[in-house]
Structure 1
């Protein structure tokens, strides 16, 4: 394992550190203290060519000016909160309405826009980078002083383990995720429409006209939301389902994850490059977002941004479910510990033919 520390940029006079970790088998992972952003993940293809498989920038200014949450940690709350307000213990808290009448990803003062403290632990077979942040009572409108830690651990099995921990001195909302946009073609050579996705989910949450979950669970059976067997993402988008049209021609929906044994809950595969990503999580849901809102008015490391250039698999609790007893609550009670983790396993065909990806 190799670790290189650097300085990515300066924000308000403070230097933002970067960390680059490389495994012996060819994976390179880079992250920064600003927003806990994952800026690069380099993975070989079937010919051994190392290329980047996440969307990101080379400068802090670009993240601040253009980024639609590339690679960052979302908090205190991932997803939308209807009416940009919520009630806890009889008190109504108001948030920024930065998505129409709703709050999206906690607004401009969310965790994606702060500089975290960092610490590193290096071992023979893994490197862990722990980011910590104290979110003061009232920040972005949320109650409670919240201490948060996010740890990225990269190991020689080419796995990225993301662990989240948080604790508050008041009842509050906490629902954290990582918002990396993946594109396994490498260096954005193609969109994600021909990527194949397997997603072990029997149902997804219907969205209303403002993209807030209605609470209605729709069966994936016989719909473009059926990914229990591997399917090209573009096939579903082309089907013209009303829920796909609603979110701009694609997916932006919470899928309820089904229990599985001895296999990953999600698998993303790109046949042309031979690259594969498998995801296992302790979370009950994943928001699958197919990059429908990506615009073409900026460049990503020399490539013009466009719709469907990347996709997100945001592991989390179903958003906006504050008092629906059918779902795990996004309320973190005073002095209780919030803990969860998600594992991303990267693989590639080493020239022996396409990998099994069923």
Structure 2
């Protein structure tokens, strides 16, 4: 049985208290989640020798997450992002004949819900069996999105070292929704340096190439013969500097993969091995896509939980998702949610060891 502990994690400028909820299983594996942004703050898992280390990027206190300098170039460390994860071109979309103008926070693009998305909101927390449920009510018109959206993310930790995220959302008006968690991982330990030697496998035969603003072109491009082919394990850094136009555009990997299954059933999306520590991360999801981001824009300005700098390539993110810019791309899987429907999504991060 997983133990559940809630402790204070500081207060916002207006006095609102933030809590840290820590889930710990029978093996001592733990995950801490904040009510600020429903954020994964730390995850402690063993290496091949049984030594526990925190393997996700974050801050030791609330001040790090709310620092204006951090928010100005927000890398969304561990945050639950929404109302729409990833990018919407031009900060606008049309639904049922009506055009909605959104908060733009990456040039003219809306990224991860806008300048004040779900990552910068206070969520309510309720203990559940083996975990905690984080809930948020997003008002009609928040960041330009239509409909009052009722959202929950339930974090549970099992004795097989699986950290499970179950999302739900309902609306009172037609809207678009796509949520994910933006955890950054370094299986050698947070703040330990580059992840370029981590071995990555992604179960995807296609990816969605992007234009100069990192918006998908609408093409599903085969990975065959490209540096984007991770159907067999490759070191993250082995081909990241190859002469491929998409690597130049993204300053490395920052692309959505079209998962092979994509059926909506829980299936394996990616497996990452760290030969140095022996830790393995397996990601299963019900989502059709996976954004692989190799930490290209980490620039050393952030000092995280350990007090060490986060530099380019010091972590990777694997964000389970619907495709970027789906509201403007009719050939992509739909992200429309209507009254009377319930949007659901599940992703599991399972930690184990290799020889």
Per the alignment, residue 94 of structure 1 pairs with 101
Structure 1 residue 333: deviation in Å?
1.7
Per the alignment, residue 32 of structure 2 pairs with 30
Could you tell me which of 49, 53, 56 is aligned with 1:54? Answer: 56
**Conserved 8 A contact 2:55-2:190:** yes
Alignment of 1:35-114 (within 5 A): 35-65=37-67, 66=70, 67-114=74-121
Alignment of 1:113-128 (within 5 A): 113-122=120-129, 127-128=130-131
Per the alignment, residue 3 of structure 1 pairs with 4
Give TM-score scaled by structure 2 length. Answer: 0.94
Cα separation, 1, equivalents of 2:332 and 2:91: 20
Structure 1 residue 306: deviation in Å?
0.5
Structure 1 residue 108: deviation in Å?
2.0
List structure 1 segments (4+ residues) > 3 angstroms apart after TM superposition: 260-263, 323-326
Structure 1 residue 331: deviation in Å?
1.4
| Secondary structure, counterpart of 1:134 in structure 2 | strand
Could you tell me which of 174, 177, 182 is aligned with 2:177? Answer: 174
Cα separation, 2, equivalents of 1:224 and 1:316: 22
Per the alignment, residue 197 of structure 1 pairs with 200
Per the alignment, residue 344 of structure 1 pairs with 349
1:211 aligns with 2:218: no
CA separation of 1:164 and 1:263: change in aligned 2, threshold 3 A: closer
Structure 1 residue 252: deviation in Å?
0.7
- Flag structure 2 segments of 5+ consecutive residues without an equivalent: none
Cα separation, 1, equivalents of 2:105 and 2:43: 30
Task: State how many pairs are aligned.
Answer: 345
Cα separation, 1, equivalents of 2:49 and 2:209: 41
Per the alignment, residue 266 of structure 1 pairs with 270
Identify the range of structure 1 (97-106 vs 168-177) with the bigger mean alpha-carbon deviation. 97-106
Cα separation, 1, equivalents of 2:329 and 2:121: 31
| Secondary structure, counterpart of 2:217 in structure 1 | strand
Could you tell me which of 14, 17, 20 is aligned with 2:19? Answer: 17
**Conserved 8 A contact 2:168-2:344:** yes
Structure 1 residue 328: deviation in Å?
1.4
Structure 1 residue 140: deviation in Å?
0.7
Q: Cα RMSD between the aligned structures?
A: 1.5
**Conserved 8 A contact 2:267-2:286:** no
Per the alignment, residue 143 of structure 2 pairs with 140
| Secondary structure, counterpart of 1:224 in structure 2 | coil
Per the alignment, residue 297 of structure 1 pairs with 301
Give TM-score scaled by structure 1 length. Answer: 0.93
Identify the range of structure 1 (188-197 vs 33-42) with the bigger mean alpha-carbon deviation. 188-197
Per the alignment, residue 315 of structure 1 pairs with 320
| Secondary structure, counterpart of 2:65 in structure 1 | helix
| Cα offsets for 1:233-262 (capped at 9, x unmatched) | 1012022311011112x1110100002999
- Flag structure 1 segments of 5+ consecutive residues without an equivalent: none
**Conserved 8 A contact 1:170-1:335:** no
